[in-house]
Amino acid sequence: MKKKIIGMIITVLVLGMGASIVYKIIEKDVTDRETFDFKTDTNGSNDTVSHNEHSFYGKILEVSSSYIIVEPNQKEEERKSSDKFSIELKNNNTTYKVGTNVKITYVGDINESYPAQVGTTKIEIVSEK
């Protein structure tokens, strides 16, 4: 009986030490990861431009109070990712109309959703319908 109790105590201690070691390894891996600093440069105005900034031209297909759906023009590189992009309207008082041609400027990658999404920094009206 004593041997079983001692065996159980040793097993619990070994498992506890193992769990502690695994926790420390995971904690070290998470805290030692490189942090990414997204730097921006000023372009002579109050605007900032990211080194990872992209843009495409397209036509508005749908208008909502919080987003617009834009179809990239046929020759745009973004068209290879998706035929529709959902563009969030943040603090934007502009009234958009279906059929309007726009230039969408964004930073980062294209989110693989449908419609696709990007981190929009600017929406410019190129021509009205």
59: number of CA atoms within 13 Å, CB side?
Answer: 8
Structure confidence at residue 37 (pLDDT): 46
pLDDT on residue 51: 57
pLDDT score of 103:
93
pTM: 0.58
User: Which residue carries 């997204």 as its tokens?
Assistant: 38
* Angstrom distance (rounded) from CA 19 to CA 12: 10
Per-chain mean pLDDT for the chain: 79
End-to-end Cα, the chain, rounded Å: 88
Bridge partners (DSSP) listed for residue 72: 58
Residue 6 is predicted with a pLDDT of: 86
Q: Check residue 29 and give its pLDDT.
A: 55
Q: Which regions in the chain score pLDDT beneath 70?
A: 22, 26-51, 129
44 dihedral zone (left: phi>0; alpha: psi -120 to 50; beta): left
